[in-house]
Amino acid sequence: MVLGALNSVVVLVASALVGGFGVHAGARLLSNARGYDHAVWTALIGALAWAVASALFGWLPLLGPVLTYVVYLGAIKWRYRGGWFTAAGIALVGWLAASLVLELLSAVGLGGFSALGVPRV
């Protein structure tokens, strides 16, 4: 039981670090990249915003996923300088970067991770 809990913590931390890397890559490219720690916190806040918005609006046909994504982009916009297009660019670059990292980890036998704070990765 302790090993299972430890495994869950390791996966959570690794997923947050991968998600933070993705957000950091997007922010370095498109905005005022602050620090990697700022990006990890942004990824965690984005994941929480996504979860809450999905619970509240996700059941709405067509509109639910759009509202959920707008809330997620709002979290990025709140944490980094720039407008909605900058936040969308950070999210897109973050998705690409996190996907690449997860593919590389999988290629070396370290699969099973996700990118916390980067939707659909």
Cβ(13)–Cβ(110) under 8 Å? no
> Which of the two residues, 52 and 8, has the higher pLDDT score?
52
Residue 2: what pLDDT? 67
- pLDDT tens sequence across 83-115: 999 999 999 999 999 999 999 988 998 877 788
Cα–Cα distances (Å) from 3 to 10, 25, 116, in that order, read 10, 33, 22
What is the rounded CA–CA span in Å between residue 34 and residue 69?
23
- pLDDT tens sequence across 23-70: 999 999 998 788 999 999 999 999 999 999 999 998 999 999 999 999
Read off the pTM: 0.89
Alpha carbon 28 to its chain centroid, in Å, reads 15
Label residue 1 by pLDDT band (50, 70, 90).
Answer: low
Residue 93: what pLDDT? 95
Cα–Cα distances (Å) from 22 to 12, 59, 64, 77, 104, in that order, read 15, 28, 25, 15, 14
Burial readout 53-78 (b: 16 or more C-beta within 10 A, e: otherwise)? bbeebeeeeeeeeebbbebbbebbbe
Question: What single-letter amino acid sits at 109?
Answer: G
pLDDT surpasses 80 at 121: no
> Which of the two residues, 117 and 36, has the higher pLDDT score?
36
